[in-house]
Amino acid sequence: MDKHWAQGALLASLLASSLAANAASLYDFNGNLDDSLGSGPTLVAHGGSVVGGNYVFGGNQGLTLELSGVDAASYDLTLRFSFESVGAGVSWRKIVDFEGRDTDEGLYSFASHLQFVEQAGGPQHFIDSPVSSFAPNQPLTLRITRDGGSGLFTAFINGIEELSFIDSNGRAVFNTGKANFFIDDIDTCCEFSAGSAEFIAVNVAPVPAPASLPLLVSSVALLALRARRRDAGIGA
């Protein structure tokens, strides 16, 4: 296994554990689609199945979450998942749908980049991350937050901010009271991929990026440096 990939996977795993531990609801697919913390509604599956602690889905299969007790305009959601296919053929892969699957708007993987698509009474507007973060069958941790006061929408991948904008048109508000994951809208065709999800964590209100994140990054980097020094026979 590539050492850099392994170090990144360790960081993502630690970050995911930290975020999940602070969730109001946690769907970790421990044999079912229930909230393992007991307070949230059961996820609704559109195909797919729970296998070995993961939700495994085919093309245009996914999950719906009723946002009971969560402000549709002010939220903090974290997902850990992977897609089987990115960047081939139709390059869009829908991750989160905010509009009840009635429009093409939402959060996507596009040609291995994170992209938000909005269309508020005019042509589509694409908000792209400059970072290539998606690779086939490689899990990543996506966190999205929206501040209900300012409208600030922010998306992080593995703890790193990838895109941010003021959602003045409310396109990142869950206007139907439901969040849809991995399944395409009915307005377009074929913008999906099969894949696997490890968990979905829901917080009641958005919070800043964890204050411990720089320390977490430094700790993982230090461990990696010490391992390299040992490999080279240098005293740590």
What is the DSSP code (8-state) at residue 195?
A: E
The span from the CA of 62 to the CA of 220, in Å, is 33
CATH number, residue 76: 2.60.120.200
Question: What is the span of the domain harbouring residue 217?
Answer: 3-231
**In contact, 172 and 146? CB cutoff 8 Å:** yes
Host H or E run for residue 17: helix 3-21
- Token look-up 């991350």 returns 129
Domain for residue 49, yes or no? Answer: yes
- For residue 102, the model assigns a pLDDT of 73
For the chain, how many structural domains are there in total? 1
Q: Which of 57, 50, 56 is nearest to 31 (CA)?
A: 50
Backbone angles phi, psi at 20, to 5 degrees: -65, -35
- For residue 81, the model assigns a pLDDT of 97
pLDDT along the chain (236 residues), means of 10: 53 60 86 92 96 95 88 93 80 90 86 86 80 94 95 95 94 93 82 93 58 46 41 47
- For residue 4, the model assigns a pLDDT of 44
Domain for residue 236, yes or no? Answer: no
- For residue 186, the model assigns a pLDDT of 73
Please, what's the b/e burial string for 72-82 (b: 16 or more CB within 10 A of its CB; e: otherwise)? bbbbbbbbbbb
Domain for residue 84, yes or no? Answer: yes
- For residue 226, the model assigns a pLDDT of 37
